[in-house]
Structure 1
């Protein structure tokens, strides 16, 4: 019991660090409320959080801004128009002499295409970052939902155990009054009942904390009431094989997509750095009335820059190559780490499934039989009351561990989906359940 409460306390502290602050000056979206005939489900809660999460909205706006930079990157500079007059040349017949020029700068062929590729891949990287954050928010939200479910189940288990102990306390007092039990039995029942009440106070405090965390994710006041969590359906179907999950992750995971985009952007920057060793062109035309001969007044011209400082350009090229190599090594490293996380997450899902099945098929029936046998032996005089208390504690611990294993199933499946980058088709509450 204490280990379960300790794990929950650590989880609450973690949620405190990741939750987005509710009270801030910028405009916010908030979820407008729940229907009274609804159960809270993991998928629906994640959907609501994604709608109102300000961090996700901010990075999506950044991705939109990056997308708007693609077209300007491939555009030519604006043409330049210059105009001048020679005021001292004014005469009555010809007026004042003047000159105007129009010029356009044209980069070396391929430069504009490389700039566009850099901007496009930078936009893809930011978009992939938004997808990564979305996966993280979904996993954190489902973990919060799992704790909300566990708290309700733990309170229900405690209430049922308290009701049983109330009955046992009355029985013990009657047996003590008739001389069939010792005063120690009555005191043991009373102590155990008060211990349960103390544990219930801890659970109620934790319920307030997790309610506040979920409301923070939804950007609403911490004391806003939430529906009960829907019963978690744990599938006995095995998750996809590691090879299938690996294929999904390597194809769809946004973190790998982001690094691939960084590599492509780096390669385009290398191309740009190489183009910098070549001159840019500037073409223009103009008219100069200072010339007496009218045929000399129209002017057509072209000019180029002379890239003399090769050292500066070589440094920029080497920098681009080094940054691209860095992205390539990061991709290799992160790919290996991702597959390791994926294998671990799959193993944890299978463990959670097996644990739930073990509790349902074996441990819970045994704990119930153990408790019933201890109560029957005590009532018949064949067993002591201490055996009843021990059996009751074993039953309470088993029920709480069963509820924890169900909550862990939701949390671990969410982690598996996070590392896969795609939804896993296993049984989970996927729509709002209506109370029956």
Structure 2
């Protein structure tokens, strides 16, 4: 029989693999390994979405002093009662004068302070929103970095399994040629290799997309090559007490702090609306200068002073409705804060359970299932060599090793991702 069972693919498969996962040409300088801490630092320093939130917070920080300042005073210059039939002569008529004056609007005491206080709450809330965005960015970078870490391990495992199955396929083909194995064994080996090739293509496709998404978070071009450092010994920290994490989240989560600031701003606006029943004032002074008479007699100058105020006589349809509006907005912020608190508590609880479950699963695969799978595969290989096991059982044992080697890294990565989500949920970059 001339059929080869060694891994080989058609032109389309070769092109796809080279596009998705094969290393860059020899002339290209390989990228430096990107450690997790370096990826987080690069994202925090350069991500444009985070920079946008920080710029917004800086803009909001400039608002309070504007809100707490008096309106600009008005300066006025007048020429009054100029006679038109004498060429605007300033001396002919007694009522002709030049006048200069100013006026200043004065809001009722306390209004400006409340406006400034509300703006300060909003500025502090914008800073909290920027910090929340930073924590979410750190979480997303860690999620993608660990997913890419898993994808690289999966591709390595598939490649190693392909090599081993190719060796088994060669041995089976040799035995088939001398009549010691059946044709179905050779065909079964070819089928398993084809399935591995399909798995490799799928991992390579996902690997390519994950690199593009991580590059986007790092503000890099989507196609920029990226590789991670080799793995060390996998370790996972002990889980913390859920009650402690819930308390930590309530104290430290920026999203909750932002809503508390929004509640403070709403309270200040309600107090400001209550002061809408009180009038605002306008004060001013003018000085009018007159020329002497044509006969040389002195004319006295004039000084004018004025105070005015608005009268809130339509309070039932205006100020009262403003108070109702601000009261409803205060309730809205109270409900929003309570809703966000419950969601944060659920997020902490979900990821606490998720981390604990993934950690237990990792330990089970590491200490029990994977060693058993490897022992079974070794025993099957020995039995097959002496004709005491069939090839199908040997392949099942080898694919079980593939499955649980992959599951080993998958459980480890899922635990690390849950740990990253848990840290973000309690308002920390790391626990």
Is the structural similarity TM-score above 0.5?
Answer: yes
Task: Using the TM superposition, name which of 35-44 and 240-249 deviates more.
Answer: 35-44
Q: Which residue pairs with 1:55 in the alignment?
A: 49
Alignment match of 2:326 (pick from 320, 327, 337) = 320
Q: Which residue pairs with 2:349 in the alignment?
A: 343
Partners of 2:233 and 2:353 in 1: CA distance: 19
Distance 1:230 1:43, change over 3 A: farther
Alignment match of 1:365 (pick from 358, 366, 371) = 371
Cα deviation digits, residues 96-115 of structure 1 (max 9, x gap):
51222222111111111101
Q: Which residue pairs with 2:126 in the alignment?
A: 126
Partners of 2:320 and 2:405 in 1: CA distance: 69
Distance 1:130 1:176, change over 3 A: same
Q: What TM-score comes out, normalization by structure 1 length?
A: 0.84
Matched, 1:139 2:139: yes
Partners of 2:132 and 2:232 in 1: CA distance: 26
Cα deviation digits, residues 188-218 of structure 1 (max 9, x gap):
2222122212221222222222222222223
Secondary structure in structure 2 of the residue aligned to 1:223? coil
Secondary structure in structure 2 of the residue aligned to 1:309? coil
Distance 1:213 1:123, change over 3 A: same
Distance 1:234 1:416, change over 3 A: farther
Partners of 1:242 and 1:423 in 2: CA distance: 18
Q: Which residue pairs with 1:156 in the alignment?
A: 156
Partners of 1:124 and 1:294 in 2: CA distance: 60
Distance 1:134 1:187, change over 3 A: same
Q: Which residue pairs with 2:217 in the alignment?
A: 217
Matched, 1:207 2:207: yes
Q: Which residue pairs with 1:177 in the alignment?
A: 177
Partners of 2:37 and 2:314 in 1: CA distance: 59
Partners of 2:360 and 2:318 in 1: CA distance: 63
Q: Which residue pairs with 2:392 in the alignment?
A: 386
Following TM superposition, by how much is the alpha carbon of 1:82 offset from its aligned partner in structure 2, in angstroms?
1.4
Q: Which residue pairs with 2:310 in the alignment?
A: 305
| Structure with more relative contact order (C-alpha pairs < 8 Å, separation 6 or more) | 1
State the superposition RMSD in angstroms. 2.3
Secondary structure in structure 1 of the residue aligned to 2:286? strand
Q: Which residue pairs with 2:272 in the alignment?
A: 272
Structure 1 runs not aligned, ≥5 long: 1-34, 426-436
Following TM superposition, by how much is the alpha carbon of 1:37 offset from its aligned partner in structure 2, in angstroms?
8.0
Cα deviation digits, residues 204-249 of structure 1 (max 9, x gap):
2222222222222233332211122542665443222112211221
Secondary structure in structure 2 of the residue aligned to 1:417? helix
Partners of 2:423 and 2:230 in 1: CA distance: 20
Q: Which residue pairs with 1:78 in the alignment?
A: 72
Partners of 2:250 and 2:230 in 1: CA distance: 33
Partners of 1:42 and 1:415 in 2: CA distance: 15
Matched, 1:330 2:324: no
Contact kept? 2:290, 2:300, Cα under 8 Å = no
